[in-house]
Amino acid sequence: MSGLIDRAEGCPVGGLIGDAMGTPSEGLEPAEIERRFGWIEDFSGDGTDDSIMKYLLADALIAGDGDADADGWAAQWLRQPDSIGGDKIERFFASVLHCAAKLRYGVLPRRVALGNMPSSSSAMSIAPVGIVNAGHPRAAAAQAQEIASLIHIDEVAFCQDGAVAVAAAIATALAPGATLDDVLAAATAHIKPWSGAEMIALIGQALALAQDAADYVAFRATYHDRFRRAIACDSRETVPATLALVRLANGDPRRTLCYAAISGGTPIPSPAWPARSPARWPGSAAFPPSGWRPWRARRRAISERSPPRWSAWHGARRRGKSPRGGPWWTRLSSKPTRSPRRRAPPGEAAAGPCRGRRSATARPGSPRPWRRAG
């Protein structure tokens, strides 16, 4: 059990570190990243919406004792309205803000995703599903597909396949004796073979490219030429890149995080799109590496909601037991504070999501569209 806990701990901790590491390079092209930062291997700050969405999903899983669906995730959005919007509105991608606004106005969770653009919002937040289904990738895939439908359905349902790939890979990584090859194979093994054929093919091509690439720079250049999409956060670009970077780094969490941080706008267009937190593939029981452990001292408030969650968790681990008893993954935090439901003032939802964004059209080699403001 201690091995499982150590490896599972690497998922959310790695996600938080990856989110913070990638924030400075968000939306930038590789040449600009190299000019400004060179090699990124440290971090500060509390990340982006990616961590916030993951917290909300973890709370939904906790509330359902591990059994959560799209309705349960949506309920957490409404119970914690200050988590999405308000002074955090600039952290969120348009698709999430649109869904949240529709929920506040009474649209059913099964319909709020209609009309959404492609994104990686579900894949980047799905890690808790892989954790609660540790060792059971098929169950993780089924739950991930259902939960991802809150943000992605209809013409962008392929984004569900991205969430399935990430969740299944994590669940497999947490199984005793899992190897890197097992994890990467699981990413495509549980995607629907007919409906998800495009995602399966793209992941296979990306992994082959990583296998054959001489180094990271060569991989990045070729990946940009072959996999770029008009919308920077399209999961058909980001999820294959996630898994390819894990392959390129041979499963090393620290190296994968660094590769992702200097990928910038492409192939990983946001600080914690799935490859921004590749330690969701917990390849080592000793993660984060010892050199990064001071992050807890430097950033006690890695997000506004993290102190009770992480202090309780690590304090319990030092005492040799799970906080408040029971399976650790259902005890990551105390019950979320319930905030009264609030209907957005007229015009608020329409004004927020697209503020500071550019047109969604682009051609290969052009500046990336749909970068978040800020």
Structural domain including 59 reads: 2-290+300-351
What tokens does 105 get?
Answer: 């106005």
Question: Is residue 367 domain-resident?
Answer: no
Strand ranges in the chain using DSSP code E only, listed in sequence order: none
Mean pLDDT of the chain: 76
Measured from the Cβ of residue 337, the count of other Cβ atoms closer than 10 Å reads 9
Contacts of 207 (CB under 8 A, 6+ apart): 184, 240, 243, 244, 247
Q: Specify the pLDDT at position 264.
A: 66
Question: Is residue 324 domain-resident?
Answer: yes
Distance CA 246, CA 162 (A): 15
Q: Specify the pLDDT at position 178.
A: 93
CATH assignment at residue 33: 1.10.4080.10
Question: Is residue 361 domain-resident?
Answer: no
Q: Is the dihedral of CA 264, 13, 191, 154 positive or negative?
A: negative
CB 167 within 8 A of CB 143: yes
Question: Is residue 206 domain-resident?
Answer: yes
What tokens does 107 get?
Answer: 């649209």
What tokens does 11 get?
Answer: 């998922």
pLDDT digits (tens, 9 = 90+) for 88-125: 788 788 899 999 999 999 999 999 999 999 999 999 99
Question: Is residue 148 domain-resident?
Answer: yes
Measured from the Cβ of residue 340, the count of other Cβ atoms closer than 10 Å reads 6
Contacts of 67 (CB under 8 A, 6+ apart): 61
Say yes or no to pLDDT of 369 above 90.
Answer: no
Asked if the peptide bond before residue 267 counts as cis, ω within 30 degrees of 0, the response is yes
Total structural domains in the chain? 1
pTM reported for the whole predicted model:
0.74
pLDDT digits (tens, 9 = 90+) for 289-334: 445 543 433 333 333 333 333 333 333 333 444 333 443 333 343 3
Q: Which helix (H) or strand (E) holds 32?
A: helix 30-36
Distance CA 145, CA 350 (A): 28
Question: Is residue 362 domain-resident?
Answer: no
Taking residues 145-158, what's their average pLDDT?
97
Question: Is residue 193 domain-resident?
Answer: yes
Taking residues 149-160, what's their average pLDDT?
97
What tokens does 228 get?
Answer: 């770029």
| 102 residue type, one letter | K
CA–CA distances in Å: residue 242 to residues 123, 235, 246, 319: 10, 10, 7, 35
Question: Is residue 74 domain-resident?
Answer: yes
- The overall longest dimension of the chain from CA atoms, in Å, is 55
pLDDT digits (tens, 9 = 90+) for 4-35: 888 888 888 888 888 888 888 887 888 898 89
